[in-house]
Amino acid sequence: MRVLLSGNEAVARGCYEHGVKVATAYPGTPSTEILENVVKYKDDIYCQWSPNEKVAFEVAMGASFGGVRTLVAMKHVGLNVAADPLMTSTSVGGDGGFVIVTADDPGMHSSQNEQDNRYYAKFAKIPLIEPSDSQEVLDFLGTAYEISEQFGTPVLFRLTTRLSHAKTPVELGTRTEVAQKEYVKDTSFRVVIPAHARKLHVKVEKRLESIREYAETSSLNKVIEGDPKVGVISSGISYQYAHDALPEATFLKLGLSYPFPIELAKKFCERFETVYVVEENEPFIEEFLRYAGITNIIGREKIPACGELNQRIVRDSISGEDTAGEKTSVSPRPPVLCPGCPHRSTFYTLNRLKIGSTSDIGCYTLGVMPPLEGIDTCICMGASIGNSLGMEKAIGKEFAKKMVAVIGDSTFVHSGMTGLADVAYNKGATTVIVLDNSITAMTGHQDHAGTGTTLMGESTTKLDYIKLAESVGVKDARRVNAFDMEAVKTAIKEATGSDEATLLVMEGPCALQARSQWGPALVVDSEECTACGLCLRLGCPAISKDENGKATINPLFCVGEFCSMCTQVCPVDCIAVPDKS
């Protein structure tokens, strides 16, 4: 059957068809939908959300020790979190087939950087597979497991946003079961004490050379004949852009690009006067060519390093023209906190109290946008708490009254817990605010250790933030109703006024998950409205000004009494549910 699948859906389908038995992840755009789709096959595949990518990696690795085909998926920066087990897992290898999916984000649609994770394959000395559409994702995943098992190595499988989120036709197959290998204790490769690790390093180098020889003739690397005068080398999604830019050219399309098949590439380059190397972001392929002394290539000198490519950019880069067309200047429309978002009260209050925040990765990072402007820093998962403590240590304890750490519940579970322990241990006065909507909201509502439900839909234990804070030594830890503006204000004032560390858990469900609780849109009594503008300072997308400068509420966006923050900030009580107005 031929169906349309996104690259992420194709990974999940691949897990099913290629006999995977365990799959793990921490959600992160653009990788999230992989596990969300694997769970559709939960009769055949055990799958779970882990608290972070490092744990997800370690669980997957354990499953490989247990002798089954296993997969771990994450976004590109997630692999930084999992880099510790990655770097050593590569010398372990050799049990059940083990594939690590990295979904990179050129153009940074939803990320803090555009690091090119192909370098992790080289750094960790493991094979790198780069599909270029959903059918290849499905097919190449099978090859990835074969390589993993044949050579005894984890395999890095790289997607990018335009593969993960583009839907392309796929021919579905059936599941092939793969026999479980029996676990036999062998410390020579599963216990990496230096005496073993030294031998393992030699093994890894030999393994890499064997895989390079395999890559030279692998069907994943192929020459697509065209114009004998124009040669192009490319991989992944860049190949698709290059093909549209130079449809007549002869291509060397690399699907298994590390260990780099240098003999194949040399032979290809010898056929042409000039070969274009088309790569998004980093010159990964080009560096191997240059290191081998191949000089008739044009890559990074013309193809831009920053942002996504498309066929027009590739064509213009090569021709030197600019056919982008004129952009019209239009007011930006950045994403903002949704109408009814429980996080709004915290940022509104911080803004009114002139308190800044070190913040973190999640929907609430949108609190940086005007008019809330409640965020001073945002670096990586969990950084908020350490950043706040560090500023306090540099500037002085009084500064903690003017700067709080703001972190979402899922991010707190991911890597905020150790930061909180640090605050208590090192006697910080930091106020840590957990914005608890009881879900990983940014990536589309995934469960985590604080929600009480597993990926496979079972009820489970629920992390208690208050008990956790108390156990690490934070004496003042309390829950606050995020939709009660007065309670939020009182809690923040008291917490920042104290000389000791405080944990505030601002509780309120994600509005997008609470649709059943939405009420009829609120309305403004324009006779009563004094055009003071306080409700506009909430930054709610449903509220704007009418031609007289008075507030008006868009009935398509407002979630009604579910939220009601605007009714609480209005000094003249002119916003109400329709029947009361």
Binding site for other proteins (CB under 8 A): 2-4, 29-30, 32-33, 109-110, 133, 161-162, 165-169, 237, 240-241, 243-244, 247, 310-313, 323-328, 330-338, 363, 366, 369-371, 442-444, 512, 536, 539-541, 544-545, 547, 554, 556-557
CA distance 93 to 132: 26
Residue 31 C-beta: closest distance to other proteins, Å: 11
* 506 close to 342: Cβ distance less than 8 angstroms: yes
Q: How far apart are CA 507 and CA 501, in angstroms?
A: 19
In the complex with other proteins, the residue whose CB is nearer, 145 or 251, is 251
Nearer to other proteins, 2 or 185 (CB): 2
Q: Considering the complex, what minimum distance in angstroms separates the CB of residue 200 from other proteins?
A: 39
Residue 122: partners with Cβ closer than 8 Å, 6 or more residues away: 128, 258, 284
Least Å distance, CB 124 to other proteins, is: 28
What's 500's DSSP letter? S
Cβ atoms of 406 and 359 within 8 Å: the answer is: yes
Q: How far is the CB of 278 from other proteins (least distance, A)?
A: 12
DSSP H or E run through 275: strand 275-278
What is the total residue count of the chain?
581
From residue 433, how far is each of 67, 83, 360, 507 by CA, in Å? Answer: 42, 28, 11, 10
Nearer to other proteins, 333 or 354 (CB): 333
H helices present in 399-484, as ranges: 409-415, 417-425, 465-472
In 10 A of CB 486, how many CB atoms? 11
Of 354, 355, 359, nearest to 337 by C-alpha is 359
70 in Cβ contact with 77 (< 8 Å): no
Q: Which amino acid is at 34?
A: I
d(CA 204, CA 224): 32
User: Closest approach of Cβ 493 to other proteins, in Å?
Assistant: 27
| Residues ≥6 apart with Cβ < 8 Å to 27 | 35, 49, 410, 440, 443, 444, 446
Phi/psi-derived region of residue 403, left when phi > 0, alpha when psi is between -120 and 50, beta in every other case: beta
**327 vs 354, which CB is nearer to other proteins?**
327
> Minimum CB separation from other proteins for residue 555, in Å?
8
- Rounded to whole angstroms, the Cα distance separating 492 from 431 reads 8
Of 293 and 325, the one with the shorter C-beta distance to other proteins is 325
- Please classify residue 248 by burial: count the beta carbons closer than 10 Å to its beta carbon, then call 0-12 exposed, 13-18 middle and 19+ buried: exposed
* Cβ neighbours of residue 571 closer than 8 Å, sequence gap 6 or more: 530, 532, 534
Residue 4: CB minimum distance to other proteins, A? 6
Is the CB of 33 or the CB of 392 nearer to other proteins? 33
Which of 195/556 has CB closer to other proteins? 556
Residues 6+ apart with CB under 8 A from 394: none
CB 75 within 8 A of CB 106: no
For the CB of residue 43, give the shortest distance to other proteins in the complex, in Å: 26
Q: Based on CB atoms, which residue is closest to other proteins, 62 or 247?
A: 247
Q: Least distance (Å) from other proteins to the CB of residue 109?
A: 4
The nearer residue to other proteins, 107 or 452, going by C-beta atoms, is 107
What is the nearest approach in angstroms of other proteins to the Cβ of residue 127? 25
Spatial contact of 57 and 25, defined as CB atoms under 8 Å apart: no
CB 559 → other proteins: shortest distance, Å? Answer: 12
Per the DSSP assignment, residues forming a β-bridge with 552 are: 544
Element (DSSP H or E) covering residue 434: strand 431-436
> Exposure of 113 by Cβ count < 10 A (0-12 exposed, 13-18 middle, 19+ buried)?
exposed
- Give the residue among 574, 548, 544, 579 at the shortest CA–CA distance from 558: 544
C-beta closer to other proteins: residue 70 or 134? 134
Residue showing tokens 């190595």: 153
**Residue in this structure with the two tokens 């027009």, named with its chain if needed:** 312
